[in-house]
Amino acid sequence: MPSDCLFCKLVTREIPGDIVYEDEDVLAFNDISPQAPTHILIIPKQHVATVNDVPEEQASLFGTLVGCAKRLAIQRGIDASGYRLIMNCNGEGGQTVFHVHLHLLGGRQLTGLG
């Protein structure tokens, strides 16, 4: 794990996070700067910097993250109304934290992707 990775530090509790779900493989926590009533980040516990760095053999990781997001959406009661899943990659994709994470956004009408 890179010692300067913010999300690894959330996994190890070196910094506090508003954790909403945890299991052996994933951690989910509320985004510190929420863009919607529900704005949760779902991350693999194992450090991987970007989508580009997930090997094809480990593509099931994405299914794990989406499955977790889907269950959280059901828990929050936003599954029927709708939600958005976003995974940003590198600079032009808008990624600012270089530990793969899936945004779960919902609870209001979301508009264009800008």
Q: Which parts of this chain interact with ligand AMP (CB under 6 A)?
A: 6, 17, 29, 31-33, 41, 88, 94-97
Q: Is 71 helix (H, G, I), strand (E, B) or coil?
A: helix
Nearest-5° Cα angle at 21, 113 to 110 = 20
Query: What is the nearest approach in angstroms of Zn ion to the Cβ of residue 78?
Result: 27
Query: What is the nearest approach in angstroms of ligand AMP to the Cβ of residue 101?
Result: 6
4-12, 22-30, 59-67, 75-83 -> range binding Zn ion (CB under 5 A): 4-12
**Does position 8 bind Zn ion by CB under 5 A?**
yes
Nearest-5° Cα angle at 66, 41 to 62 = 100
